[in-house]
Structure 1
Amino acid sequence: MITVIITDFWGIKTVLFKTSALVFWALLLAGCAASTGSDIEPVAKYEGVIRDKLTTSIAENGLKLFTYSVSNTRVIPQITMQPLELTGRDRRKRSSGPDLTEWTEQIELGLKRTLAMSGFCREGSIEISRLIQADRAEIRGECTEGATDDDRQRFGRQG
């Protein structure tokens, strides 16, 4: 039930909506459910443009290792570096190249989603190494939990 009430407060007409309790609580819960924290995933801007692969390995002692490899299938324009005119102490400084922040976020998002979908690392993982370049990336890691018999059946030993 929605009722419209028009009031006159100090000469200003105000429109108030009287809603049922059900609508009020639904709107309140929807507002509370919206997250504004840092747990919001970045938008998958590279979806359909990257090719990724998760390679898994389970050692004899139950250690679960993975390698997440990504390649960018989009044609990347060549980046030309301008030589810098440096003098004195500044000669050691070099141009750092392109900003890979957004690309790195996408790689991390892909890894997170791939590990979740595969179920390989159920309790999290530890990063061992990472290589991020403009056209490819590789993150190697280790699951925090050991392999179960089910893991050995699903993913095989492979390592």
Structure 2
Amino acid sequence: MFKHYLIVCSLMALSACSASPPDPKEFAGQFRDTFSTEIKGDGIKLFTYKAKLATATDRPLPDDQPHDQRINRRKQDLQSYLIEQRNAEQRLELWHQQVDLGLQKTIEMSGYCQAGFVELNRYVEMDRAEIRGECNDGATQEDFTKFGR
């Protein structure tokens, strides 16, 4: 009976770990995003959030590294890419979560959609994503000043 109790507790602990929010550090140095806004004449606030995983060419290599070290770095990036492909499904789920987290943090930091938003379109692939949305609140004079038309 005690063994069954331990097994159930272990499974619950494992499921709790897998349900935790994504760790932004998982994509540290690999994540690039942009947030563009558009305010229509009648005060409707729209946005487009784009995110992508940085490729090896997106990640800057220090110019002061010798040529051999830069070549080795490129090989390591390729090896990392191949390993990532083996874990693609799990990585895609984490990527979805990271995109959602990135959008949430971007909206919070910008203050663009004060009353939340409605998602109009979502496109998420293994290495890039785009979410278009419309804010639930209309544009204020401050919004026009801060974000333009």
> Root-mean-square deviation (CA), in Å?
2.3
In the TM superposition, what are the counterparts of 1:2-151 in structure 2 within 5 Å?
Answer: 41-44=21-24, 45-74=26-55, 76-77=81-82, 98-99=89-90, 100-151=92-143
In 1, Cα distance between the equivalents of 2:35 and 2:115? 17
- 8 A contact 1:50–1:74 mirrored in 2: no
Deviation at 1:46, TM superposition (A): 1.2
Deviation at 1:101, TM superposition (A): 1.1
Deviation at 1:62, TM superposition (A): 0.4
Query: Which consecutive aligned stretches of 4+ in structure 1 deviate over 4 angstroms post-superposition?
Result: none
In 1, Cα distance between the equivalents of 2:48 and 2:21? 22
- Matched residues, percent identical? 41
Compare CA radii of gyration and give the structure with the larger one.
1
Aligned residues: 103
RCO comparison, higher one (Cα < 8 Å, 6+) = 2
TM-score by length of 1: 0.59
In 1, Cα distance between the equivalents of 2:131 and 2:120? 8
Structure 1: unaligned runs, 5 residues or longer: 1-35, 81-96
- Higher helix fraction (1 or 2): 2
- Higher strand fraction (1 or 2): 1
TM-score by length of 2: 0.63
- Report the AA paired with residue 126 of structure 1: V
Structure 2: unaligned runs, 5 residues or longer: 1-15, 57-80
- Report the AA paired with residue 67 of structure 1: T
